[in-house]
Chain A
């Protein structure tokens, strides 16, 4: 009996060794890790928050000295954060949670928005210079500025073209009139052939946009932060025309985030979190109906449909903002702290190395 058992164990061991020895040495890579990136303006940091484990969040000091970064773009394991009045862009390695390099931008750039167009190039908007700058975020090299419209605040990339949101703000940073989009061909680093300018309806101050599930661009024309009414423009990026414009978001709507299908979410300091449906072209949650997230500065959506409504907090005195996590029914399921004054967010999947 004992011998029989011993033989059985030996056979099992042999089998195990055979199985292990013949196993595929190229095991499948783990899943990408999805993270929420939040730019904390007055702290001048970038919060990297794993969406499944927010308690593992880290804050990366960006190296700037002014409380002016407000936007972030990301691709793969790298993020680009324009540093506002520091006239530079921080390139952040999201895996190592540290700044890879600081890319100097032209003097008085006041850089705010950015977009990454491929695995080496990004565009940064210089609102004080009415230009954009293409940077190689892997090397830190920059190319000649490209003139665009008045006060470019944000950039978005779709259908192979770069769409620059010209805020059209005057010297006192008030809207001077309607905004428009400038279309840039990244292949030539010059205005795109054909239609290179797309007029928008509204009071101007276009500063936020996203591409929705229908492939169209949804651009928020905020207008004045303190009075008037914002309008949501729908732009066909192929025909390069504004196909519709909707009001109903009250005063000072800001960030726009696509929920993947037909849902577009809009943040607002005054109204909280609002929603627009791209199928019905209706404001689902509009003025006076928003989810009451205080000082709602931004919004993002992850691959599970969870909505992150960002509360900026007072932006001073060392008091931190927070992210309110809402389920698909827009019920808050949890919240977690961010840095001081989170103002711009995005969700990105970091592929394993």
Chain B
């Protein structure tokens, strides 16, 4: 160990001591938990409603077939009880939970259409949800919290900064992320940066894997992530400090329907990494990997919802460890405003401005550059939903249309770059009780038309479901289409990169899906298995030609695999989760190799134990080997990450959380040459005012 590394070691040790001391020395704030129970009824028929999604503060549950529900071990205080069911108006109330006193609350739901995002999350095709509480135990932001969850792989290239999700072997620009109903995918790159969303601002994330462009629009060619933010923030603040000088803070508050939040973060930099064998092995320090990002949001909940968000980031662009670029810097800024009205007649609109800059005055090789681009985009959506019933089926039908326009200028794109996209959607979702079983059926078709697309492109999806007591089956067949991302269509040609004027849209051809979920009846355990198989024609990937000139290029690929998930809650304060996913995404040629940087196998397991004022969590995540090329050679090694967390309620409204990320100091590289920090310590303080 060199002397130069001593301060870092002292700092790490001190952080660990402080972390342990805070967690161990604080006195517990003992409060007797209470119980909240009740029943959910239909306002018109007064019949009990089963399957209603319920949330009580950070707790989640579902009403039974007879409409009854109960929450045990509720922390005393003022909390919001919410109820949602497809075909009914959302319902909520604030209740005061008194220590040691049980509460009974009866809920009456009024029939009403529901907005599209709720339909997406609950339709027959089925989404998989994770609550905000669980997310906060998995990571401070969604990039960390969702990595490894239900087969989601977050592609990251450093300590922080842009981190986009991959699902079912799709690319990072093939997962649509909706934040309160609005897409947050970058209009240029198509990628959604999950690192900008704080876990504590999130009420729930729902993953709908598979081709979902018919339901949700372009980019959802591999899956859809629906992020619902919290609108019940008491004034609260969080601050954290971690290894390698990572720091951050977050403020949030709700007042009536208005919720505001502010955040700022400085990334880890100058962290050690393992030098690959090809470079001689050993260890070195990753330079120019740091940066900072700031975000602000203001949202208004209600029948007309408003969303105003802004973000700014500056970061180093360190290059690969083999060819580092110590002087390269990047920055981007964006402002977004969106408004959405729900009801029988839905409408929504949004406007976004963004700018991005990348510069390197002294690159080790090639020309120096200073590339600045900016653009503006807008969307308009209009939809109508109508309750319908036939032959015992109840549900709703809907029709909608959306248009989108983007215009960009600057050094990174061709002059006069503009792109327009219009779509028309027809859908219906129905369910039908049959004895103790419930059948569900959803169908949606969509026509898409965009700049230079020629004729409209049609896609279709059918979902069917059957649920009885502890067992549920789902099946689906669908197609999908999405245009290439704008950066692939309109980037400015340069040394070694060339536009592809023949670039075609990506199309999913009749992908088949089937799933089963079984409540096991012991330890509140459940297991689910989902399988899928299909083709993606013209997947867009960057590749060199025989002259080593790189272009975005279309490739036909086959996509098949599955996900297996196990959950158990043997004790009220103990949760166990495990999942395994297999995604074979291969070039559609004889003996075609796995597509670059798409791990075939991922495993994850987590344990959350929260006895009283303490909570402890352990998370293990394994990412299988990835190929850096289309030939399926020289695979990058698989890696496993083990994270530990310990949280303690120090006083009313004040909690401290310590984390050790990558306990075994793996220093993983998802992408060759872009290592992530190894073992890191984090201490977070959370203050929630009464």
Asked if A45 is an interface residue, CB under 8 A from chain B, the answer is: yes
Contact surface of A with B, Cβ cutoff 8 Å: 40-45, 59, 61-68, 83, 85-88, 102, 104, 107-108, 110, 128, 171-173, 225-226, 269, 295, 297, 312-320, 339-341
Give A297's nearest chain B residue, CB to CB.
B546
Q: Do the beta carbons of B546 and A171 come within 8 Å of each other?
A: no
Q: Do the beta carbons of B323 and A108 come within 8 Å of each other?
A: yes
Most buried by A among B495, B545, B587, B630: B630
Taking CB atoms, residues of chain A closer than 8 Å to B591 are: 318
Taking CB atoms, residues of chain A closer than 8 Å to B279 are: 86-88, 104
Asked if B280 is an interface residue, CB under 8 A from chain A, the answer is: yes
Chain B nearest CB from A116 CB (Å) reads 20
New A-B pairs, 18, CB < 8 Å, besides A313-B546, A316-B544: A44-B631, A61-B634, A65-B278, A65-B636, A67-B548, A85-B322, A108-B365, A171-B366, A172-B367, A172-B495, A297-B546, A312-B546, A316-B553, A317-B553, A317-B589, A318-B587, A319-B589, A340-B630
Give CA–CA (A226, B496) in the complex, Å.
12
B-side interface mostly: loop
Taking CB atoms, residues of chain B closer than 8 Å to A313 are: 546
- Render B264-303 as a binary contact track against A, CB cut-off 8 A, 1 for contact: 0000000000000111100000000000000000000000
Chain A nearest CB from B507 CB (Å) reads 17
Taking CB atoms, residues of chain B closer than 8 Å to A41 are: 548
Asked if B76 is an interface residue, CB under 8 A from chain A, the answer is: no
Give A86's nearest chain B residue, CB to CB.
B278
Q: Do the beta carbons of A339 and B631 come within 8 Å of each other?
A: yes
Chain B nearest CB from A285 CB (Å) reads 21
Taking CB atoms, residues of chain B closer than 8 Å to A340 are: 629-631
Assuming the contacts A104-B279, A319-B589, asked whether A269 and B634 have C-beta atoms less than 8 A apart, the reply is: no
Contact surface of B with A, Cβ cutoff 8 Å: 277-280, 322-324, 364-367, 495-496, 543-548, 553, 555, 587, 589, 591-593, 628-634, 636, 672-673
Assuming the contacts A65-B278, A65-B673, A312-B546, asked whether A45 and B631 have C-beta atoms less than 8 A apart, the reply is: yes
Q: Do the beta carbons of B545 and A318 come within 8 Å of each other?
A: no
Give CA–CA (A29, B370) in the complex, Å.
63
Taking CB atoms, residues of chain B closer than 8 Å to A59 are: 633
Taking CB atoms, residues of chain A closer than 8 Å to B544 are: 42, 67, 315-316, 341
Most buried by A among B277, B279, B495, B631: B631
Q: Do the beta carbons of B592 and A318 come within 8 Å of each other?
A: yes
Assuming the contacts A42-B630, A83-B278, asked whether A315 and B636 have C-beta atoms less than 8 A apart, the reply is: no
Chain B nearest CB from A125 CB (Å) reads 14
Taking CB atoms, residues of chain B closer than 8 Å to A86 are: 278-279, 322
Give CA–CA (A316, B545) in the complex, Å.
7
Give CA–CA (A313, B545) in the complex, Å.
9
Q: Do the beta carbons of A43 and B278 come within 8 Å of each other?
A: no
Taking CB atoms, residues of chain B closer than 8 Å to A318 are: 587, 589, 591-593, 630-632
Give CA–CA (A316, B592) in the complex, Å.
11
Chain A nearest CB from B411 CB (Å) reads 16
Q: Do the beta carbons of A43 and B367 come within 8 Å of each other?
A: no
Taking CB atoms, residues of chain A closer than 8 Å to B634 are: 43-45, 61-65
Give A170's nearest chain B residue, CB to CB.
B367
| 8 contacting pairs across A/B (C-beta < 8 A) | A42-B630, A44-B628, A65-B634, A85-B323, A86-B322, A317-B589, A317-B630, A340-B631
Q: Do the beta carbons of A295 and B278 come within 8 Å of each other?
A: no
Give A319's nearest chain B residue, CB to CB.
B589
Give CA–CA (A62, B496) in the complex, Å.
24
Give CA–CA (A63, B323) in the complex, Å.
16
Give CA–CA (A327, B113) in the complex, Å.
77
Give CA–CA (A153, B323) in the complex, Å.
18
Q: Do the beta carbons of B630 and A61 come within 8 Å of each other?
A: no
Give A62's nearest chain B residue, CB to CB.
B634
Give B280's nearest chain A residue, CB to CB.
A104
Give CA–CA (A110, B496) in the complex, Å.
15
Give CA–CA (A129, B634) in the complex, Å.
26
Give A321's nearest chain B residue, CB to CB.
B546
Give B495's nearest chain A residue, CB to CB.
A172
Give B366's nearest chain A residue, CB to CB.
A171
Taking CB atoms, residues of chain A closer than 8 Å to B324 are: 107
Q: Do the beta carbons of B589 and A102 come within 8 Å of each other?
A: no
> Which residue from A44, A269, A295, A319 sits with its C-beta under 8 Å from B633?
A44
Give CA–CA (A59, B544) in the complex, Å.
21
Q: Do the beta carbons of A65 and B631 come within 8 Å of each other?
A: no
Q: Do the beta carbons of B278 and A341 come within 8 Å of each other?
A: no
Assuming the contacts A314-B545, A316-B543, asked whether A102 and B629 have C-beta atoms less than 8 A apart, the reply is: no
Chain A nearest CB from B551 CB (Å) reads 9
Taking CB atoms, residues of chain B closer than 8 Å to A173 are: 366, 495-496
Q: Do the beta carbons of A65 and B628 come within 8 Å of each other?
A: yes
Taking CB atoms, residues of chain B closer than 8 Å to A312 are: 546
Taking CB atoms, residues of chain A closer than 8 Å to B277 are: 63, 102
Most buried by B among A86, A110, A171, A320: A86
Taking CB atoms, residues of chain A closer than 8 Å to B364 are: 107-108, 128
Give A70's nearest chain B residue, CB to CB.
B548
Q: Do the beta carbons of B545 and A315 come within 8 Å of each other?
A: yes
Q: Do the beta carbons of A317 and B633 come within 8 Å of each other?
A: no
Chain A nearest CB from B68 CB (Å) reads 56
> Which residue from B278, B366, B629, B632 sits with its C-beta under 8 Å from A88?
B278
Q: Do the beta carbons of A269 and B629 come within 8 Å of each other?
A: no
Chain A nearest CB from B461 CB (Å) reads 28
Give CA–CA (A151, B673) in the complex, Å.
24
Give CA–CA (A339, B366) in the complex, Å.
29
Taking CB atoms, residues of chain A closer than 8 Å to B545 are: 314-316
Give CA–CA (A68, B496) in the complex, Å.
13
Q: Do the beta carbons of A316 and B633 come within 8 Å of each other?
A: no
Chain A nearest CB from B201 CB (Å) reads 37
Give CA–CA (A41, B547) in the complex, Å.
11
Give A225's nearest chain B residue, CB to CB.
B547
Q: Do the beta carbons of A44 and B629 come within 8 Å of each other?
A: yes
Give CA–CA (A205, B672) in the complex, Å.
30
Q: Do the beta carbons of B322 and A43 come within 8 Å of each other?
A: no
Give A89's nearest chain B residue, CB to CB.
B278
Give CA–CA (A303, B496) in the complex, Å.
37
Give CA–CA (A27, B146) in the complex, Å.
67
Chain A nearest CB from B653 CB (Å) reads 49
Q: Do the beta carbons of B322 and A87 come within 8 Å of each other?
A: yes
Q: Do the beta carbons of A64 and B278 come within 8 Å of each other?
A: yes
Taking CB atoms, residues of chain B closer than 8 Å to A172 are: 366-367, 495
Give CA–CA (A275, B19) in the complex, Å.
74
Give CA–CA (A67, B495) in the complex, Å.
16
Assuming the contacts A107-B364, A318-B593, asked whether A43 and B633 have C-beta atoms less than 8 A apart, the reply is: yes
Give CA–CA (A295, B544) in the complex, Å.
14
Give CA–CA (A104, B495) in the complex, Å.
27
Most buried by B among A110, A226, A319: A319
Give CA–CA (A108, B545) in the complex, Å.
23
> Which residue from B278, B323, B365 sits with its C-beta under 8 Å from A102?
B278
Taking CB atoms, residues of chain B closer than 8 Å to A226 are: 547
Taking CB atoms, residues of chain B closer than 8 Å to A317 are: 543, 553, 555, 587, 589, 630
Give CA–CA (A87, B631) in the complex, Å.
21
Q: Do the beta carbons of B589 and A65 come within 8 Å of each other?
A: no
Give CA–CA (A216, B630) in the complex, Å.
40
Give CA–CA (A260, B378) in the complex, Å.
68
Taking CB atoms, residues of chain A closer than 8 Å to B632 are: 318
Taking CB atoms, residues of chain B closer than 8 Å to A66 are: 322, 628
Give B321's nearest chain A residue, CB to CB.
A107
Chain B nearest CB from A143 CB (Å) reads 16
Assuming the contacts A87-B323, A102-B278, A314-B546, asked whether A65 and B672 have C-beta atoms less than 8 A apart, the reply is: yes
Give B557's nearest chain A residue, CB to CB.
A317
Give CA–CA (A104, B322) in the complex, Å.
10
Give A88's nearest chain B residue, CB to CB.
B278
Q: Do the beta carbons of B589 and A67 come within 8 Å of each other?
A: no
Taking CB atoms, residues of chain A closer than 8 Å to B673 are: 65
Assuming the contacts A64-B278, A67-B544, A102-B278, asked whether A171 and B628 have C-beta atoms less than 8 A apart, the reply is: no
Give B543's nearest chain A residue, CB to CB.
A316
Most buried by B among A43, A65, A295, A341: A65
Taking CB atoms, residues of chain B closer than 8 Å to A43 are: 629, 631, 633-634
